[in-house]
Chains A and B, each alone.
Chain A
Amino acid sequence: EVQLVDSGGGLVQPGGSLRLSCAASGFTFSSYWMHWVRQAPGKGLVWVSRINSDGSSTSYADSVKGRFTISRDNAKNTLYLQMNSLRAEDTAVYYCARGRLWFGENDYWGQGTLVTVSS
């Protein structure tokens, strides 16, 4: 059974940092593009970042470029999102997702982890 388990969220002050993790199981993690998608409270889904299967290619939404870094450890079947210089507008539930295709069409999602940026 495919499983994605998100963790690492919490309360952080503006300007602070946080690292999210996504533990994958039940499939060959190293064969898939992976994505982070976020959802602000009461709002819709927004793509944040993607990484290719071997970690050599990444892309980011303009709103997080230069502040967030996506990475993966295929030996540990884990996806990461390092978030620096956090702002109030980054407050959201962050989901990791497996891309059915390289750009998205995510067929499996983690349960999400809540990041709250507030003083």
Chain B
Amino acid sequence: QSALTQPASVSGSPGQSITISCTGTSSDVGGYNYVSWYQQHPGKAPKLMIFDVSKRPSGVSNRFSGSKSGNTASLTISGLQAEDEADYYCSSYTSSSTFEVFGGGTKLTVL
């Protein structure tokens, strides 16, 4: 099972909006509404930011939003803040035997 495809890095200035893409196939991202996004700061555990494509857990800022079109899911962060600088990983349910697959991760730099 190949990992979902994410850009290695994205960057933006404070206050701007950025979008991170996560491309899979019809066997994972495109076939199910079970895409989630995690934020990971250096040396820390991942934190769930988005689940079921576009839902936010309690306590997650509404600056974070998720969407999906076809085989590509997206995480958008609006009003970029310095604290948003982190690695971001997508994951999806998959029809393969592992049932869950992660993306390779995207490093977000706030300029």
Contacts and interface: CB of A to CB of B under 8 A. Distances in A.
A108 B45 CA distance: 9
Interface string A91-118: 0000100001101111111111000000
Contacts of B57: 107
Given A44-B89, A101-B34, A103-B93, A109 B47 contact: yes
Contact of B38 (A45, A50, A62, A111): A45
A43 B91 CA distance: 15
B60 to A, nearest CB: 11
Interface residues of B, number: 24
A85 interface: no
Contact of A61 (B44, B98, B104, B105): B98
B31 to A, nearest CB: 13
Chain A residues touching B, majority SS: strand
B48 A110 contact: no
A108 B101 CA distance: 17
A105 B47 CA distance: 11
Nearest to A107: B48
A36 to B, nearest CB: 12
A95 to B, nearest CB: 6
20 contacts: A44-B3, A44-B102, A44-B104, A47-B102, A50-B99, A59-B99, A61-B98, A95-B45, A95-B46, A101-B34, A103-B93, A104-B91, A105-B48, A106-B46, A107-B48, A107-B51, A107-B57, A109-B45, A110-B45, A112-B45
Given A107-B48, A110-B45, 17 more contacts: A44-B3, A44-B89, A44-B102, A45-B38, A45-B102, A47-B98, A59-B97, A62-B97, A100-B51, A101-B34, A103-B100, A104-B100, A106-B36, A106-B46, A107-B57, A108-B48, A111-B45
